[in-house]
Amino acid sequence: MFLAGETRGQPQNTAMRKALFQYLHEQQGVNVQLVETGVGETQVLEQYLRTGDENWLNHYLKLQGSCADAEAEYWRWLYQYNRQQGGTIHVAGLGTERNTVVSMYGLLALADTEIEPAESIADFVQALRDENMTTALQLFKTAMEEQPDAMADYFGDAYAQVQQLYANLQVNTTYKGRLDRDDLAMMDNMNFVLRQYPDDKFFGQLSNGHVTQSAWKDGNYIANYSRFGMLLNGEGSPVQGEVCSMLTIYTQRGSNGLLGDDAENDYYDLNALAEAAGKEFIATGADLFLALDNEDTPYSEQNGLIKPEVQAEEKAAYGLLPKN
Beta carbons of 93 and 37 less than 8 angstroms apart: yes
The dihedral of CA 11, 189, 158, 90: what is its sign?
A: positive
Helix (H) or strand (E) holding 31: strand 30-38
Nearest Cα residue to 208 out of 48, 36, 23, 22:
36
Predicted pLDDT at 121: 97
The 3-state DSSP class for residue 32 equals: strand
Helix (H) or strand (E) holding 36: strand 30-38
Predicted pLDDT at 308: 64
Beta carbons of 161 and 44 less than 8 angstroms apart: no
Beta carbons of 61 and 68 less than 8 angstroms apart: yes
- What does each of the 324 residues of the chain score in pLDDT, given as a tens digit? 999 988 777 778 899 999 999 999 999 999 999 999 999 999 999 999 999 999 999 999 998 888 899 999 999 999 999 999 999 999 999 999 999 999 999 999 999 888 999 999 999 999 999 999 999 999 999 999 999 999 999 999 999 999 999 999 999 888 887 878 899 999 999 999 999 999 999 999 998 888 988 776 555 555 567 889 999 999 999 999 999 998 887 766 554 555 555 555 566 677 666 666 665 665 666 677 777 777 767 666 666 676 666 554 434 443 344 333
Predicted pLDDT at 105: 97
Predicted pLDDT at 291: 75
The C-alpha torsion from 217 through 221 and 226 to 230, rounded to 10°, is: -50
Predicted pLDDT at 300: 67
Q: How far is CA 220 from CA 209, 217, 265, in A?
A: 10, 8, 10
Predicted pLDDT at 323: 37
Nearest Cα residue to 186 out of 158, 227, 237, 223:
227
Which pTM was predicted? 0.85
Predicted pLDDT at 276: 65
